Structure 1
Amino acid sequence: MQGENFTVWSLFFLEGFSRYPRLEIVLFVFSLVMYLVTLLGNSTLILITVLDSRLQTPMYLFLGNLSFMDICYTSASIPTLLVNLLSSKKTINFSGCVVQMYLSLSMGSTECILLAVMAYDRYVAICNPLRYPIIMNRQVCVQMATVSWVTGCLTALLETSFALQIPLCGNVIDHFTCEILAVLKLACMSSLLMDMVMLVVSILLLPIPMLLICISYGFILSTILRISSTEGRNKAFSTCGAHLTVVILYYGAALSMYLKPSSSNSQEIDKIISLLYGVLTPMLNPIIYSLRNKEVKDAVKKLLGKVPLVPSV
């Protein structure tokens, strides 16, 4: 096939869940409610980490970054999904598709690294508590958060740039968003370079951070089991349990999407998994982190005005 015969598409059709028209209203309500809860929960978490002086710690600095990331991640795809679920013309223009692809990749990639950074933070806090303020000082924390963002954005830029160089032989995307794997299925020919880029980035952002998290929690578990105080042990388990729950939810979905065998061709399952980790996980993050956290609960009460934000003199 000659290069000049390839079409440059200005409009894409998102097939989404159009094969199940009776479910579209249910999915719309489900997605809308979860999106609103995600915005409310994560915005609240960001506000309390900024306004409450007790939460000016490394853990909450990273948690605020995670919440902001989740807002950006869901806002990149869910509004388009909501519009298309109610519309007969499920379309998105080329520039919108590129922006959506890049934002989803960059936010997802950054979250992979940030979760590993948060695991290291918990490792230092529990295994080296006396040196924690020195090791995890504010400058180091800001640098670690910045590295997470820069790495995630650059790897996403790399993947998106290579994806845009591949000619597409169709403009009907079998997904509810411009997810890179779904877009690449429209490629006129396979690209070994693109496959290698995707594989290398996926390994760098998924198994490697996951391995670092597992190592960190191996040391953490060993230290917790040696704590003689029941109260101290429960507090450590509570804090780390929340982070570990988020890690399992996020990495479990991401690994099943990006590192499954190439012979797997279950696109409907891919869409369901994408919907779960694209909406469910960001919604659950603030709930999981605040459910058993007294500091967060007190900060929320202050934010709601139940307790004065500044103690009266």
Structure 2
Amino acid sequence: MDEKNHTIVTEFLLLGFGNLAHFRIPTFIILLIVHFMALSGNILVITLVAAKKSLHCPMYFFLSQLSLSEILFTTNIVPNMLRLILEGGGKISLFHCVFQLYLSSVPTVAQCLLLAVMSFDRHVAICRPLHYATIMTFKRQILMVTFSWLLGIFFSIILYVFLRKLTFCCHTIDHFFCDIAPLVKLSCSDTSSVELVTALFAYPIILSPFLFIVVSYISILQTVLNIPTSIGRQKAFSTCSSHLTSVCLYYGTLSSIYIFPLKEKFINANKGLTLLYALVTPLFNPLIYSLRNQDIKNAIVRLSKFHI
């Protein structure tokens, strides 16, 4: 499209969920409560892991980083979404729109890699238990976590740079935050560079950790099936159940939004999936690990007794 024939856009109108009419206040209250519960749950996980020596091990260290990524993502998206619900939509500048996309990309990439790191931890614990202490050293833990966050920052910076080079001629985004697909559709300049960056970095970064997780659990399954007693097999599976549930929940919603998105005519369904990804998943992860993990339960009980 010829940019000279269009007015260059410097701010966007986010439609949010449209006109909710009489459901606006109830929707706002429900989502605010869910957001508060998600933040509280993830902050609790980080606090417990930092405060309780019984949780000072690789699995819980990685879990605390997972909670940190959930906090960063949901606090970047949800507060403005709640504002849009109350106002029935709202404006956002081009800079803040692209920056919001940047801030959401960092924890998204980091979380994919952290889930892979956690699967590696479970693989070593079950398949190579005698070498666990020498493999999962504190230095290695720090390196893996640092790599996860730095790769998220690196990819997001590249995406941010290329997005800032685009010019936009349409200003209405039918979404509740600045996601990459609806943003690129509004551009009247050549978007091939952004699409190339997405193809070269985004999809491999999302899919490679998932494939690594699959391979890790195939190896874990083979090891577990060779355990002679049913009690031993059950104990081994129980250490992986929380992580597997998180992986299925996270990649199920992520793939529905970015890898196999619904057609544009199902925009409301896409919004619902994104809401699930941005708000419900951060709430479920602390619940999953708290309800299925006795160490976390014990730490919560001890912490509550201490405050009482």
The TM-score with structure 1 as length reference comes to 0.92
Letter in 1 for 2:304: L
Percent pairwise identity: 37
Q: CA deviation at 1:7?
A: 4.2
Structure 1 residue 178 corresponds to structure 2 residue 146? no
Structure 2 Cα separation of the partners of residues 262 and 34 of structure 1: 25
CA 269–18 in structure 1, closer or farther in 2 if over 3 Å, else same: same
Q: How does 1:11-160 map to 2 (within 5 A)?
A: 11-88=11-88, 90-160=90-160
Over 3 Å counting, the alpha-carbon distance change for 1:307 and 1:232 in structure 2 is: farther
Q: Would you say 1:220 and 2:220 are equivalent positions?
A: yes
Question: As a proportion of its length, which structure holds more helix?
Answer: 2
Partner of 1:239: 239
Q: Is the Cα–Cα contact under 8 Å of residues 105 and 156 in structure 2 kept in the other structure?
A: yes
Structure 1 residues 191-200 or 253-262, which shifts more?
253-262
Pairs aligned (count)? 308
**More deviation in 108-117 or 195-204?**
195-204
Question: Structure 1: which 5+ residue stretches go unaligned?
Answer: 309-313
* Alignment match, 1:275: 275
Q: Which residue identity is paired with 1:16?
A: G
Letter in 2 for 1:163: L
How many Å apart are 1:9 and its aligned residue? Answer: 3.3
- Cα separation, partners in 2 of 1:236 and 1:268, compared to 1, 3 Å: same
The more displaced of 222-231 and 161-170 is 222-231
The amino acid that maps onto 2:44 is T
* Distance (whole Å) between structure 2 residues aligned to residue 139 and residue 274 of structure 1: 36
Equivalent pair of 2:99/2:160 in contact (CA under 8 Å):
no
**Cα displacement (A) at 1:89:** 5.1
RMSD between superposed Cα atoms in Å = 2.0
Q: Distance in 2 between matches of 1:191 and 1:11?
A: 19
Structure 2: gaps spanning 5 or more residues:
none
Answer whether contact 1:18 1:24 (CA < 8 A) is retained: no
Describe the shift of the 1:265–1:159 C-alpha distance in structure 2 as closer, same or farther (beyond 3 A).
farther
User: Is the Cα–Cα contact under 8 Å of residues 301 and 307 in structure 1 kept in the other structure?
Assistant: no
CA shift digits 1:199-258 (9 cap, x unpaired): 222321222111110000001111112223433322221221111111111111111222
SS of 1:187's equivalent in the other structure is coil
Query: Hey, what's the Cα distance between the residues in 2 that align with 1:84 and 1:262?
Result: 23
Structure 2 letter corresponding to 1:298: N
Q: In the alignment, residue 237 of structure 1 is paired with which amino acid?
A: F
Separation (CA, whole Å) in 2 of partners of 1:135 and 1:53: 20
Give, as a single letter, the amino acid of the residue that structure 2 aligns with 1:246: S
**Taking structure 1 as reference, are residues 164 and 126 closer, same or farther at Cα in structure 2, changes over 3 Å only?**
same
Letter of the structure 2 residue corresponding to residue 169 of structure 1 = C
Instruction: Kindly indicate whether the alpha-carbon contact (under 8 Å) linking 1:6 and 1:167 is maintained by their aligned counterparts in 2.
Output: no
